[in-house]
Structures are given as C-alpha cells and as structure tokens.
Structure 1
Amino acid sequence: MVGIIVVVLSGLVSAFLPEGILPEFVREPFHAGGLGMRLILFSLIVSLWLMIDRAVALMRASFDTRTFTESVRAALQQGNVQGALAMCQQADRPLSRIIAAGLAKSDQGEHEVQAGMDEAAYGELPQLEKRTGFLALMGNVATLMGLFGTIIGLIHSFGVVGQSQDVSDKATKLAAGISEAMNCTAFGLFTGIVALVAFSILNGKTQRLIDQINHLSLRVYRSWKTARGAENTSAKPVGAPHAHLQSTGLLKHGAGGHGGKKSTFANLQLTPLIDMFIVMVIFLLMSFSASGAITAVQRDVKLPFAEKVAKLQRALVLAISYPEGDPTGGVVTLEGSEVSTAKDLLDDSGPDWKISKLTEQLQIHKNNWKVTHPNESFPGELIMLVDQNVNFKIIKKVMYSAGVAGYTNLLFAVTKKASSEGGGGGGGGH
C-alpha cells in the first residue's frame, strides 16, 4: 500500500512541478527537454524513494551478529535453551527471529527445529529483498524515457524542416529540437546511472546479509544439535531440509556453497548508446544543409565564357565619412588609414589648402607604382567615397591635395539617382 501511495505522489509531483522552483542551471534544460523530462523525473523520484526505503530496511536488519551468535551458542552449550531463546526474542532481528523459531521447537526433535528455521526464513528473507529489484527496473525505464524524449525531439526537428520556408527559422527550430533530444538523453542517462549503481550496492549488501544469516543460523543449529546430543542416524542431514522447504536455501551447505544466489548487477541496456548514435547522425545530416536539401552536381556543367578580358587595374580608395554624432565631424582615410579629421580641416582657415599627410601618402603610392611600371605613364586615378552631408570645403581641400600629388583622374563613387514621382526612368550615376 505504501508503494502505491508513493508511486501516485511521484506521478503528481513530476506532472505538476513548477519549473520556477528549480535552480537556474536546471530550469532551462528541463524546459527545453519537454514532456520527456517529466517522465524521467517520475523515475528519478521513485528511485530515490526505493534507495531510502531499502537502506533503512538494511540498517534495521543489521546488528552485531557475531557477538549475538557466540552468546547464543554459549548458552546452548550450557544447555540453557530458554536463555538462548530469550536472547533471540530480545534482539528482534531477522537472524534472531529465524533462530528463535527453531529453538522454540527444541522439545519436538531435530527435524522440527530445522523445519521451524526454514519456515521462518520464508517470511524473513523475502522482506530483505523486497522492492530492491524495482531499482533496476527504474534505471532501465529512465533510459527508455530518455529515448522516448529524444524521438519526440527528432520528430519536431523533421517537422520544422518540412514546414518552415525561412532558412534561418529552420536552423533555429532545428537546434531547439536537437536540444530537446539531447537534454532528454542526458537526464535519462543520469537517472539510469544513479538507479543502477544504487541497485548494485543495495543488492550486494542484501545478498551478504542473507549469506550471513544462512551461515550463522547453521552454526547455531549445529551447536544446539551438539548440545542435545542428537546423533540419530535416522534423522535427515542438515543439508537436506524438509521437502517443501528446500527452496529457501537456508541451512544448505557443501562444497558448492549456497545455491541460487542472485547477481548484484543489473543488466546493462544498450538503448542509450543507440540513442546517442541516432542523435549524432541526424544532427550531422541536418547540419550539412540548413534547408535540408542536397544539390546534385551535374556532369555536363559548362562554365560561361569571360566577356571582359582586359587586365584589371587597381586604384587607391579615399573615403570622407561624416557620421552623425561624431565629435570629430568625420574622418578622411586613404586605403583605410586616417590622414585627417573633418574638424581639423574645417577649423584650418590658412591660405594653404594642402593636406600634408594625405599628399605624402599619395606620393609614396605614386613612387611605388612607378617602380613596378617603369615604362608606363602614371594614370593618376583616385576613387573617392564621400558622404552626402560632407562640407564642400573638405572636398576641395582633398581634391587640391590629390592634384598636388599628381592624382588628376578623380573617380567619384555615387548612388543611382532616385526616380521622381510620376516621372520617367531613373537618372544615371553622379
């Protein structure tokens, strides 16, 4: 009944948990993971309850068994069966209750003592293993829930590729779908690892406790048998309990050890590995083309013939910018390097219009050109990029400085003239 209540409460918590109460580093991945994250959260909550429940049960069943067993054996060797029985009733642990069930039938003979211990073991040992196997189940369920969330995220990704027309929107939604898939995978793996590790630890401790109960109860039985002097050859040997109680494994002994011992390890699912490979393959395929389309190259493609075969010539670029709000009033640059500011040129009211730094830089470029073209005349070409709101005084000073340096072929880069309302076609470049 307690287990059913815990499962129902875990389902309600995982379904209605407000994301706002989560830490910030968990909140965003939890939200991006979608429905799969809440399903995995259910497995995590149930797993945590199982860990606490089994750990408390093992702590209650554990005590100083060696000291207790030696005290009981000492009492039996002295013939004090009632004293040994009182010790068992006072300890009130699985081991002591199993021994007490046998000692209570001391007056009925060896076989009844052995059968009493076996019968008590039927009730005590399953309680030690109770619910432990569900931890392995929750670990595997968590990985499957992670796979389920991953598939949902990939379905969203494929849906986006098929519906959206905007390439940038496709890429954004595709990344969101992949994020949902990866978050579910990570959370599912984390929960599965926690549950399976806890199962291995708790199941290992449970099996060691059961082995200890088997061993110590057998020693107490032998001490009782020796003290009673029960050497009746017609009695069944210790290793052969009553037929209907043999399945408990209690009091079995021999060279082969105890039979039917459970493994402390849960089966490892390969689902997370397959899940990760699926996500990686889909992600690589989608990253190859943001639009999801692969263009096939035709074998008979022919490149067009070039129409302009004249050798391209490079000209220097001079720019005069006038950005709004600039305290310097803009700058004059040659090939990206500043040669003056608009404010300095406007404030200079002297008779010489030459910009010294600009003239020097232009002459250096001119001399370099003559070195590489010794038998050609200098073309003196200079491309000028000028903002529309630049003061004409600045333009005149720049043109004068260029002329002094030998650049007389000035080319202005302009925008196309806008068409007037109701008028004819647009004008040419200016």
Structure 2
Amino acid sequence: MRHLFMLASEGGEVGMWGAIKENPTFLVMNLVVSAIVVTVIIERSYFQLDRYRVNSKEFFAQIKKLVVAGNIDRAIKLCDAGDYPILQLVKAGLTQASKGADEIDAALSEKLSELKPAVEKRVALLWSLANIATLIGLIGTVSGLIKTFASISAPGLSAAVKQQMLSNGIAEAMYNTAFGLGIAVLCMIAHVMLHTRSKNIQHDLESTTERVFNLLTIAKPNF
C-alpha cells in the first residue's frame, strides 16, 4: 500500500483530510451520502414548517362562523387565500356542503388520502441512508485494515516504518467507521424528529376532517 509507506516515510497529512487525500474512495462515498442526508433534512424541515404553518384550530373557528351564518361562498374564498393543505382539505368539504353526508365524507376522505402521503414523503429514506452510511464506513474500515496489514508484511521495511504504517492505516480505518456512524446518528435523530412531526401533522389533518364533517352534517347549518 504505497500511500501508507509515503505517510510513514515522508510524513503526510494527518486527520480526516489527510485520510481523504490518501485513500478517498469510501470517505468520499460517505460525503455524498451526507450531502443527500442534509438535503433531505433541510427540504423536509422546510416543507413541514412552511406548508403547515397555518393554525388549524384558529382557521376552523373562522370557517365555522361563516358556515353557521350560511356564508359558504365566503368560507370557500377564505380557503382560496393560500395553497396550504389544511385550507385545501376544508375547501374539499365546503364545496360539497349542499350535498348529503356521503358526498361530503367522500370528498374529505379523498382529499385526506391525497395529502397524507406528502407529509411522510422521503422521511423513511433517512433510515435507509443511515444503514448505507454505516455499511460504507465498515467496508472502508475493513478495506483499510486489509491493505494496511498487507503493506507491513512487505520485506525490507524497518520496524519503525512498519509501526508508523500500521498506525496510519488504523487511523484511516477508524475515520471511515467514525464518519459512517456519525452520519447514521444524524439520520436517526432527524428521522425521529421529522417522523414525530409528520404524525402530528397527519393527526391534525384527520382532526380537521372530522370537525369539517361534523360542522356540515351534524350541526346542520342554514345555507
């Protein structure tokens, strides 16, 4: 393993950057994985914070006042004020307000089934990326150790050089392990947070569906 001999005899760079320069294959692969992970986390976090920033209870309270007063058209226009999922869901029920309970329920259920998958989209990917990063790190570790032990068995090297080569090789292998595990931990923490947030959003959508259905059927407003 030529790069280990060069590190040992000429004093190459140490640390993560040195490991990347000397044997970049698996570390670069995990750098790519980490970039994907960060992209998914940022995109999902922005999606959840931006698309679901409407307070569903306050919004429904406004809709309820309009519906009870018989102002269905105004309530629908209020829903058209933005392209937020909660507004779309409420509008789906309001557009069927003059029809029977079955039609209202069908419209709400259809819209809910359309909105819910988007909430969990790509969140499960983080768990897969955690496993991929861990395995890449372990492969890099094993590969580095195999090459290291093969190199120090070469004849003609002094004990000091072999010891330095072994030290550099093990350090490189451990960087692969640490980097892979670090990415995996980040993925798992992000997955827990985003998944929890997704479940809360889905519960909010389901609760809004029930409130709209009850308002348009059980309450029986005059419109």
| Alignment TM-score > 0.5, same fold | yes
* Number of residue equivalences: 207
Say which of 168, 175, 178 aligns to 2:167: 175
Q: Partner residue of 2:103?
A: 112
Structure of greater Rg:
1
Question: For residues 160 and 132 of structure 2, what CA distance do their matches in structure 1 show?
Answer: 37
Q: Does 1:54 align with 2:74?
A: no
TM-score normalised by the chain length of structure 1: 0.45
Q: Partner residue of 2:61?
A: 70
TM-score normalised by the chain length of structure 2: 0.85
Question: For residues 132 and 159 of structure 1, what CA distance do their matches in structure 2 show?
Answer: 42
Q: Deviations over 1:358-398 (max 9, x none)?
A: xxxxxxxxxxxxxxxxxxxxxxxxxxxxxxxxxxxxxxxxx
What's the offset of the Cα at 1:75? 1.7
Question: For residues 174 and 25 of structure 1, what CA distance do their matches in structure 2 show?
Answer: 15
What residue identity is the alignment partner of 2:37? Answer: S
Question: For residues 96 and 103 of structure 1, what CA distance do their matches in structure 2 show?
Answer: 10
Say which of 39, 42, 53 aligns to 2:29: 39
Q: Partner residue of 1:203?
A: 195
Q: Partner residue of 2:219?
A: 227
| Contact 1:135–1:196 (CA under 8 A) maintained in structure 2 | yes
Alignment map for 1:184-199 (pairs within 5 Å): 184-199=176-191
Alignment map for 1:250-289 (pairs within 5 Å): none
| Contact 1:164–1:170 (CA under 8 A) maintained in structure 2 | no
Q: Give unpaired runs (5+ residues) of structure 2.
A: 1-13
Q: Deviations over 1:128-150 (max 9, x none)?
A: 21111111211221111110110
**Which structure 1 residue ranges, 4+ long, deviate > 6 Å from structure 2?**
none
Q: Give unpaired runs (5+ residues) of structure 1.
A: 1-23, 230-430
Q: Does 1:27 align with 2:27?
A: no
Question: For residues 155 and 113 of structure 2, what CA distance do their matches in structure 1 show?
Answer: 64
Say which of 146, 151, 170 aligns to 1:155: 146
> What root-mean-square deviation, in Å, do the aligned CA atoms of Structure 1 and Structure 2 show?
2.1
Higher RCO structure (Cα 8 Å, ≥6 apart)? 2
What residue identity is the alignment partner of 1:126? Answer: P
**Structure 1 or 2: more helix by fraction:** 2
Q: Does 1:134 align with 2:125?
A: yes
Which is further off, 76-85 or 149-158? 76-85
Alignment map for 1:370-385 (pairs within 5 Å): none
Which is further off, 168-177 or 206-215? 168-177
Q: Deviations over 1:131-182 (max 9, x none)?
A: 1111121122111111011011111122124323433332222222211110
SS of the aligned residue for 1:131 comes to coil
SS of the aligned residue for 2:207 comes to helix
SS of the aligned residue for 1:107 comes to coil
Q: What is the aligned-residue identity percentage?
A: 25
